[in-house]
Amino acid sequence: MDALFSALLLLFHVMSGTGTPATAGTETTAAHQLLASILTAPAAKLQPGAFGSSETPGEHLPAVTDPPTGNAGNTGSAFVKHDPQPGAPASKGIYVTAYSAGGARMDSLLKLLDDTPLNSMVIDLKDDNGYITFPTSNPDLLKYGKPQKFIRDMPALMEKLKKHNVYPIGRIVVFKDTVLAKKHPELSFRRKDGSVWANAKGDSFVNAYRKEVWDYNVAAAKEAAKLGFKEIQFDYVRFPEGFENKADSLVFDKTQASRVDTIAAFVKYAKAQLEPLGVRVSVDIFGYAASVPAAEGIGQDFVKISKYVDVIAPMIYPSHYGPGWFGVKDPDTNPYATIKGAMKDTLKKLNPIGSYKPVIRPWIQDFTASWLGKGHYIPYGKPQIEAQIKALHEAGVDEYLLWNANNRYTADANY
């Protein structure tokens, strides 16, 4: 198998993260399973331009004016980057589902933060299905969304977070949105017979070319800011996995913009809308994105997205990487070397953008990837968590987020 084909196969499956509120999020669990069964070769060395696009700049959605690279500063750029919270604490946090945030488990999670240096929570506000996870009367959210009462009393939750000195981050899943796709098929990708397209897991995406979709997600973010969240973390900021192979068979509105420019333009737009409210904008992105050229099919470019956010959150779970990555036979069994390699590639991508470089706050692994099979994984606990954190610290990265889909975290690790 030649290098380019290997890389294309790798990217196709890496970008296949799906899930349910109980088992997934930040594009993780299903991607792990796919990677375990399919990625059996070392990482390919790709050539620049391997994923080049022939599409031209957009006409209707806000255009992307790319900031300059290097250390020349902001002079003359159409985009000036400001951190709305320059005094924000270095965030060491955990992922919290809406079920946990609104249920009995929240007390034990708060105790974990009380008893350790962990200080932040990433809480689902618009989840992987597209549900708004709390009651709201906001007409902009009711028009397109479907509120649930997973978190019944949001003001009480915010007061509790404040009491425990927790830095609150609101997670909003953007373009993976089955609820909106079913409610407004015209905003989604449709088959020729008019039915809404869904992936193998039954999840539908909405059309990133539609400004209504942009404004709906920004409205959800603005609502979160009013509630007191200090940062908005956007997830699934991309087109569906393998989109380049199915686009011609689907019906949807589009501009002349490339998918990469469309996704970058959304991030830029969201940042401009939210910065006046004093909230940071962060984006989750696959850790692989730092190690390969831009994924034109799904519209993600690590550098372009990073230039328009305050925080970039690459998902660098060791279980995400196939055999041979970073010179490690089975990356999940060597978390230190895997994280070290991932951060080397991340810094190589982001250091050249100078003042546009965001805060780097990776997602790291606090779960056991037993689906990788005997000999390809190890149980994760205190030593593995600390090995990942050590590799981050040696790379000069002091912020991180812990992922566990069931919100069961290692309490005795040295955070």
Domains, the chain, ranges and CATH? 3-40+92-403 (3.20.20.80)
Q: What percent of the chain has pLDDT over 90?
A: 77
Token digits for 310? 């305050």
| Gap between the Cα atoms of 341 and 345, Å rounded | 6
The pLDDT score that the predictor gives to residue 10 is 43
User: Is a pLDDT exceeding 80 seen at residue 47?
Assistant: no
Q: Is 340 or 23 the better-scoring residue by pLDDT?
A: 340
pLDDT in tens, 6-30: 344 344 334 433 333 333 445 544 4
The pLDDT score that the predictor gives to residue 333 is 98
| Gap between the Cα atoms of 85 and 214, Å rounded | 23
CA 334 distance to own-chain centroid? 24
User: Is a pLDDT exceeding 60 seen at residue 72?
Assistant: no
User: Is a pLDDT exceeding 60 seen at residue 159?
Assistant: yes
Token digits for 318? 């060791």
The pLDDT score that the predictor gives to residue 67 is 53
The pLDDT score that the predictor gives to residue 78 is 61
CA-based torsion, 166, 109, 115, 333: positive or negative: negative
197-213 burial code (b ≥16 CB/10 A, e <16): bbbeeebbbbbbbbeeb
The pLDDT score that the predictor gives to residue 294 is 85
User: Is a pLDDT exceeding 80 seen at residue 95?
Assistant: yes
| Gap between the Cα atoms of 295 and 53, Å rounded | 10
343 neighbors 316 (Cβ within 8 angstroms): yes
pLDDT in tens, 223-272: 999 999 999 999 999 999 999 999 999 999 999 999 999 999 999 999 99
What's the whole-number mean pLDDT along residues 138-159? 97
Rounded to 10°, the helix 3-14/29-38 angle is: 150
What's the whole-number mean pLDDT along residues 142-160? 97
DSSP assignment of 284-317 equals: EEEGGGGTSS-BTTTTB-HHHHHHT-SEEEEE--
Is residue 57 classed as helix, strand or coil in its secondary structure?
Answer: coil
Q: How confident is the model at residue 79 (pLDDT cuts 50, 70, 90)?
A: confident
The pLDDT score that the predictor gives to residue 319 is 97
Half-sphere exposure at residue 144, Cβ-oriented, CA atoms within 13 angstroms: 26
The pLDDT score that the predictor gives to residue 63 is 59
Q: What percent of the chain has pLDDT over 70?
A: 81
82 neighbors 309 (Cβ within 8 angstroms): no
Q: Which residues contact 397 (CB under 8 A, 6 or more apart)?
A: 343, 360, 361, 362
User: Is a pLDDT exceeding 50 seen at residue 69?
Assistant: no
pLDDT in tens, 280-308: 999 999 898 899 888 888 999 999 999 99
User: Is a pLDDT exceeding 60 seen at residue 35?
Assistant: no
The pLDDT score that the predictor gives to residue 326 is 96
Is residue 98 classed as helix, strand or coil in its secondary structure?
Answer: helix
Least confident of 44-58, 84-98, 110-124, 311-325: 44-58
Q: Is 48 or 7 the better-scoring residue by pLDDT?
A: 7
pLDDT in tens, 352-405: 999 999 999 999 999 999 999 999 999 999 999 999 999 999 999 999 999 999
Backbone angles phi, psi at 318, to 5 degrees: -55, -35
136-171 burial code (b ≥16 CB/10 A, e <16): beeeebeebbebbebbeebeebbeebeeeebbbbbb
- Identify the residue whose tokens are 């889909």: 405
